[in-house]
Amino acid sequence: MQNRKTYDEVIGFAAENNSDTLRFFPLIFENLPRKHAGVGLARKIGMDLAVEYFLNIQNPEGIIISLDADCTVSPNFLTGIFAAYRQIDKLCCTVQNFHHRVENNDPQLENAIRQYEQYIRYFSQMLRFVEFPYYFHTIGSAFSVAADAYVRVGGMGRQQGGEDFYFLQKVFALRKTKLLNDVFVYPMARYSDRIPFGTGPALQKIINEPDGQMKTYSFESFLELKEFFNLRQSFFKQNAELIRQKIVQLHPAIIEFSEQTAVLSEIEDSNQNSATLLAFEKRFFHHFNAFKIIKYLNFTHPKFFPYGSLSRQIEKSNLSF
């Protein structure tokens, strides 16, 4: 009933606000399969329809923007995104900046969401620090994608959480993403346990901490990962034994993780399927992608590195946010 009521309200809004330059297309999909019903399927339905529209009018460079219903945006939101695609040839994706809104003057929620925002930026900066090429943040309401890029990566997934992360990692690998620091999305901060990870569960976890401080991966774990990544070019066209000898000189966390996750065979695969160093690096990071980095971080904490307060890790990183 609520969906139908909202749909009727949107139809009224569209009728009042449609113009020659801006048109709204209200959609309603009912009786969706419970197994897949969720934010991933909702994004997929809308974005698939957008792709179909752009292909019908023969515009493969049409821009699809992902935004949530609870968001407000900066005045330059549409113009800033559009300008990026006009200025950068064959741009595949933009990632917008973000700042969550807190309503009802809730200091506990305010504290939690600001910490979580710092964590998102910390993690992104750490990926950049270790020279991982796809270091952009992944927020479902803060990205856009070109229609042809959407098709090339197989479209949005139907996951009930984390669909933005999975999808964007594939888009980032196309190597044509632009971070728009001056274009903002303002999502609503709220607690939620509907999905296993994401903003809602993270906020709940922060407020459940006895000291109210978010705990995260240690800066040292990224330092050791950087040492490994720094060797990647020296792996090119080397035999397995020489590569292994280089790896065993690294931190025990890297050594054990490499042994248990077939890192050596993945480097061999990268060598066997790469004629140039550039191709090797691309394939190397295809194997050691964001999923594997998170797997490494979870594997090494707390066995090799202790979790620490977010504020302390940021302090040790000497990075500004």
Phi, psi torsion values for 145, nearest 5 degrees: -145, 145
Helix, strand or coil, per DSSP, at residue 92: coil
The residues near 103 (Cβ < 8 Å, ≥ 6 apart) are 188
Cβ contact 270:287 at 8 Å? yes
pLDDT, tens digit, 9 for 90 and up, residues 133-162 = 999 999 999 999 999 999 999 999 877 667
> pLDDT averaged over the chain?
94
pLDDT at 170 over 60: yes
Architecture of domain 32-215: Alpha-Beta Complex (3.90)
* Mean pLDDT in residue range 210-229: 97
pLDDT at 321 over 70: no
pLDDT, tens digit, 9 for 90 and up, residues 64-88 = 999 998 999 999 999 999 999 999 9
The residues near 235 (Cβ < 8 Å, ≥ 6 apart) are 243, 246, 267, 270, 271, 280, 284
Per-residue pLDDT at 194: 58
CA distance 186 to 302: 34
Geometric angle at alpha carbon 177, from 282 and 26, rounded to 5°: 130
Question: CB neighbours (10 Å) of residue 118?
Answer: 17
Question: CB neighbours (10 Å) of residue 92?
Answer: 23
Start-end of CATH 3.90.550 domains in the chain: 32-215
pLDDT, tens digit, 9 for 90 and up, residues 6-29 = 999 999 999 999 999 889 999 998
pLDDT, tens digit, 9 for 90 and up, residues 109-124 = 999 999 999 999 999 9
pTM over 0.85: yes
